[in-house]
Amino acid sequence: MPFHFLEIAVTPSVRDAQAEMGVDPIWLGNAGQRSDRFTDNEVEFIGTRDSFYMASVSETGWPYVQHRGGKSGFLKVIDHQTLAFADFRGNRQYISAGNLAVNDKACLFLMDYARRVRLKIYVYVERLALDADEALASAVSDPGYKGRVERMFKLRLEAFDWNCPQHITPRFTEREIDQAFLPLRERHSQLEAENASLRARLKEFET
């Protein structure tokens, strides 16, 4: 039976830290709650993300956090327990790829800064060559995106958890700003047209 997110995250040392701060009773009742299948809420949220952060750990025990970005929805929901994405060539350090070769556990952070929402996901990661799964390669491919795909990552969900919005500073993408200002731009165009019409009528009156 898959573990609840906190059953994975709350180790004995974390429990000691919670006890030290007097908050351990808050979390005692959460054990056993299942979060091993994405609901429609998570599917919709993941499908609108244009970036996420992925944490992995090396064989020396050092953690590494990598930013992944692309078009909205580039992190694909294959089914209610599986995610996948194309691995585009970057700076060619391959730190995450190397870490995941020896430890297939990872944690994803998906952020919606505008709405101050974040989704945390524990996954097992499998590295796949592009010719290893034709259907999966087709699902994660995006011919319109400029970038060279080197491999695929297939992610099996273990548990997820939603975070509170506390301390998330709102930020907005260029597209979100454009949408927010669209009514103002439309109103500005209307006023410009009205002004042009009034100037034309005034010129006619003056002549």
State the pLDDT at residue 3: 55
Considering only residues 200 and 78, tell me which one the structure prediction assigns the higher pLDDT.
78
Mean pLDDT of the chain: 89
Domain boundaries, the chain: 35-165, 172-207
State the pLDDT at residue 52: 97
* pLDDT tens-digit readout, 102-128: 999 999 999 999 999 999 999 999 999
* pLDDT tens-digit readout, 1-11: 335 788 888 88
Name which of 108, 66, 70, 87 is nearest 151 in CA terms.
Answer: 87
Task: Read off the pLDDT of each residue in 74-90 and give the average, rounded to a whole number.
Answer: 93
Q: In which band, very low, low, confident or very high, does the pLDDT at 142 lie, cut at 50, 70 and 90?
A: confident
Task: Read off the pLDDT of each residue in 137-152 and give the average, rounded to a whole number.
Answer: 86
Considering only residues 59 and 33, tell me which one the structure prediction assigns the higher pLDDT.
59
Which residue reads 């002549």 in tokens? Answer: 207
State the pLDDT at residue 179: 87
Q: CATH 3.40.190.290: does it fit domain 35-165?
A: no
State the pLDDT at residue 2: 39
